[in-house]
Each structure stands twice: as C-alpha cells, then as structure tokens.
Structure 1
Amino acid sequence: MSPASHRVLVIDDEPPIRKLLRMGLSAHGYEIQEAPNGRTALDMLAQNPDLIILDLGLPDIQGLDLLRTIRSRNESVPIVVLSSRGDETGKVEALDLGADDYVTKPFGMDELLARMRAALRHRLQMQGERPVFHVDALAVDLVRRIVKVNDNEVKLSPKEYDLLRVLVQHAGKVLTHRFLLGELWDELTDAQYLRVYVRQLRQKIEPDPERPEYILTETGIGYRLRAPD
C-alpha cells in the first residue's frame, strides 16, 4: 500500500504543530485530516483514518481518555502518540491503553515517519501474520518454533522462546514491562524477571549483546523488536 493511500488524522490543539505535520507528511504523500480537539476527533473517526497522530495535551478531553475511547471504537487503527519530554508515566499508560508508539516533543520528521511506517506495518502483520519473521541475520519460524541466526539454529528455553514470540508478533511496537509480564507470567509484576530473560535472549541472538541490534530498550518503559526495513 503506497503512502498516498494513507489518511492520517492529526489530533493536536496547537496550530503550528498541525501546520508542521500537514506540510511534512503531505510532502511524503499522506492525506492529512486535522482535529484541534477531542470532540472533533471523535466525530472524524467515522471517516476511518488509516493512522492517528494524537497529542495527549488537549483542551477538552484528557488525551488518555480520548485514546481509550478511540481504541474502544476502533481496535485496529494505528495510533502514534505525541508526548512531552520526560512524560514517562504518560508514555507507559498510553502504550498500555493501546497506542502503537510514541514520539517525544520536540521531534524530527524523519523519526515520526519511521514510527508511522512501523505502526502501519505492525497492523498489516497482525491482520495477516507471516509465519516466518526475518530481520537481517535473525529468522523466527513461528509455525515450527525454530529460531536461526546466520542460518544456524539457536536453542532457546521455553520462556525465552515465548518472549521472542511476543516480540515478533508485535515487531516495531514498544511493549511495556507491564504488558510483557502479563503475557509471560500471570502473577509476576517485578520487571527484573523480564530483564533477566531479555539479557539471556540477547546473549543468544544478538551479534553484540552489549550493543543490541534486534531487541531495543525503551528506557524505563519496555522493549521493542526491530521491524524489517
């Protein structure tokens, strides 16, 4: 699907930000729709945007409440949140409520475009998940449960494989500590358990575990598996 076919709903109360996004994204072939507040955004959901860019600081509806409402009405539309620098708690809550990614203000257009592409790819993958995942030298066969690096099979423990499987199923999306703990352990809430398995998994699949290329850390928030280019 070409960018020209993607309609992006920008929800932001700041005219300069909307102008920046309109000019920058239009130049890359996206069709832009704008909502200066939450109520207008909810009315515009009926137009079925392909992706939403949501600023959490809106004048009429709290951003997280709006995100919750949007996700209840549309389970599949990708949502990229714009967040204030250092708003770590808000980022985590937004991701747990169903946002696909976040970009911190001030942001660069290239970074935003990359996050948008990843969010769109993630949704397409979830709609028609491919059984074999490839990124550089890493290959994960979700049907046969085989993991290879440079065509050499890697032996993983059941929990290591489960962790990698969840990351693969959401490649390109930031997964919070809370989400991953809930997927892998019913009762555990200590992120230290997760860090142990991430470290072990990196030792087995990363070219340099100290400088990971596949499992990327979102400091204080969670992890992201690098999506194929």
Structure 2
Amino acid sequence: MRILLVEDDNLLAQGIVTALARASYQTEHCRTGKQALQALDNAEFDLMILDLGLPDGFAGKILQQLRAQQHQLPVLVLTALDQIDTKLQLLNDGADDYMVKPFDVRELEARIRVLLRRKAERRHDVLQHGELLLDLVKHSCEYAGKTVNLTRREFLLLKDFLQHKDKILSRQHLEELSVGWDGDTESNAIEVHIHNLRKKLHPELIKTVRGIGYLLPGQV
C-alpha cells in the first residue's frame, strides 16, 4: 500500500515514515501542497496524510481539487489545529478523518487501517484468499493452517496482491511500491521476492503475465 504524506516538519515526517514502514506501508513524503499535487498527478496512492500548516498554504486546495474531480482517495488530516470549526470545515471539504498533534503513532496506524478497510469495503484487518490468511495488525501470515515467515518486503508485496485480486500489477507499479526498501532496487529484486513468495506459499499462487506484470487470480 502506498501512502502520500504531506508534512513540512522533516523530523516528524521521518518518524511517521519509519513507523509506517514497520507496518508494511510504503510512504512518499512531500513538504508542500504543490509537491503533493504533482505527486498525485504522477502516481497512484491508497491514502493521503495531510498536514494543514504547509509553507505554501495549499492544504485546502488539495482537498478541494481531489473532491472536485470525484477522487475517492481517503484523506486523513494531521494538524495542531483542534478548533471545532476547523474540523467541521475540513470534514465538509472532503476529509475522511482528523487527528490532532501530538499523537500516538499506534492510533495513526489504527486510523489508517480503518480508512483502508472502509475503502475496500472490508470489516476486518485480515485478508483471505483460500487457505491464505494475512493479518494486517499482527503482521502475520498463515497458509493451510501453518504459520509462514515472510520478510517485510514479501509481506508488503503479498498485501498489495491480495488487495488487488484479478488485477494485473505492472512491473513499474511493483518497482514504485518497492521504493524505499532499504535501497534494494536491483533489476531482478521483484522477481526474487515473487519467487520466494511462490516457494513459501504455492508455486501457482502468483501468475506471470508475460511482458506486462503479475496477477493474483481472484478464484482459488
């Protein structure tokens, strides 16, 4: 899952990026609203965390532009402003949730899970595909009733496949998802991780669509 973090405080942003990486989220960081708008034009994200106090004052414009375009991207506002009028204005403008600084990162992770669950019309934080279970809270994996130990990178990839069943994920998409994996950007990294997933789970779980990308069939 890719998250766009729009926050001008670099120290706070780095802390959020690190915490979300431990929870198997890949986070892109922008400092200004203008940068965020450019990022939204150039890539796909599953959720945005938006600080209101941006240097260029573009926070409100981001929300207005997204909703004017009927964009359904979940937006979690993160700000030091706790006035009720401000909260109401942001919620009316299209924000999906609102958190006040300072905050506990565990609550931030929980709210992210709720928003993504709502977006996917799920009621639980466990993704299931036949005998495969992926617990997004415990960061655990089971297959055929047995625990499967996955690396953080394998967990992140598998989660993306499970959230996009029957959809071909291009190599470019998976490479963009892998940005920030400890600098692991060698040309065969994606193939290695998918090979390992097939070996640990089932050789036919993830299909190769030659010349395009990879697919997790919706039917088991």
TM-score, structure 2 as length reference = 0.52
- Tell me the distance in 2 between the aligned counterparts of 1:43 and 1:85: 26
Q: Trace 1:9-88 onto structure 2 (pairs within 5 A).
A: 9-46=4-41, 47-73=43-69, 75-88=71-84
Match of 1:115 in 2: 111
Say what the alpha-carbon RMSD is for the aligned residues. 1.9
Task: Check conservation: 2:74, 2:119, Cα contact below 8 A.
Answer: yes
- Tell me the distance in 1 between the aligned counterparts of 2:46 and 2:76: 12
The reply to whether residue 96 of structure 1 matches residue 84 of structure 2 is no
Q: Trace 1:141-220 onto structure 2 (pairs within 5 A).
A: none
Gaps of at least 5 residues in structure 2 are 125-220
State the shift of 1:65 in Å: 2.4
The reply to whether residue 7 of structure 1 matches residue 2 of structure 2 is yes
Give, as a single letter, the amino acid of the residue that structure 1 aligns with 2:17.
R
- Tell me the distance in 1 between the aligned counterparts of 2:52 and 2:83: 10
State the shift of 1:74 in Å: 5.3
Runs of 4+ in 1 over 6 A off after TM superposition: none
- Tell me the distance in 1 between the aligned counterparts of 2:106 and 2:94: 23
- Tell me the distance in 2 between the aligned counterparts of 1:69 and 1:90: 18
Percent identical across equivalent pairs?
35
State the shift of 1:62 in Å: 3.8
- Tell me the distance in 2 between the aligned counterparts of 1:7 and 1:74: 20
- Tell me the distance in 1 between the aligned counterparts of 2:26 and 2:37: 18
Task: Check conservation: 2:34, 2:58, Cα contact below 8 A.
Answer: no
- Tell me the distance in 2 between the aligned counterparts of 1:87 and 1:24: 27
State the shift of 1:48 in Å: 1.1
Query: How many residues in Structure 1 have an aligned counterpart in Structure 2?
Result: 123
| Greater RCO, CA 8 A, separation 6+ | 2
Equivalent position SS for 1:82: strand
Match of 1:140 in 2: none
Equivalent position SS for 1:111: helix
- Tell me the distance in 2 between the aligned counterparts of 1:36 and 1:74: 24
- Tell me the distance in 2 between the aligned counterparts of 1:57 and 1:16: 15
- Tell me the distance in 2 between the aligned counterparts of 1:54 and 1:74: 18
TM-score, structure 1 as length reference = 0.50
Distance 1:73 1:44, change over 3 A: farther
Task: Check conservation: 2:7, 2:13, Cα contact below 8 A.
Answer: yes
Gaps of at least 5 residues in structure 1 are 1-5, 135-229
